[in-house]
């Protein structure tokens, strides 16, 4: 189990077993977590839509539809698909 220690006023979990010489650049500034599960992506998108003023039921329907179509990114963003070229 990893030990917790204080570094520059912030607490983080040491992966290296507590060796103070093994401090990494990311140790003091951890990346924000991005949701990766389907439920978390949909939830993040619903929050975004609600913040834009979309009614709750409509936001849920839109987010579920986007997830079903495979258009949500890990952070709940929208993947745009370019125009299809071809045809006549």
What pLDDT does 32 receive?
59
pTM for this model (two decimals) = 0.53
How far lies 3's CA from each of 10, 17, 27, 42, 70, in Å? 14, 7, 13, 34, 39
Residue among 6, 44, 45, 42 nearest 27 (CA)? 6
Over the stretch 21-62, which tens digit does the pLDDT of each residue have?
555 554 565 655 555 688 989 999 999 999 999 999 999 999
Please state, in angstroms and rounded to a whole number, the distance separating the CA atoms of residues 34 and 74.
6
- The pair of structure tokens assigned to 34 is 């991005």
Please state, in angstroms and rounded to a whole number, the distance separating the CA atoms of residues 79 and 69.
10
What pLDDT does 75 receive?
81
Q: Which residues are bridge partners to 4 per DSSP?
A: 13
Over the stretch 65-86, which tens digit does the pLDDT of each residue have?
999 998 998 888 888 887 777 7
């Amino acid at each position: 189990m990893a030990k917790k220690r204080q570094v520059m006023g912030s607490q983080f979990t040491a992966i290296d077993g507590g060796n103070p010489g093994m401090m990494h650049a990311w140790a003091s500034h951890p990346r924000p977590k991005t949701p990766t599960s389907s439920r978390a992506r949909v939830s993040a998108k619903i929050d975004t839509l609600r913040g834009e003023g979309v009614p709750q039921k409509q936001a849920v329907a839109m987010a579920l539809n986007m997830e079903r179509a495979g258009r949500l990114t890990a952070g709940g963003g929208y993947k745009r698909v370019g125009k299809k070229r071809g045809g006549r």
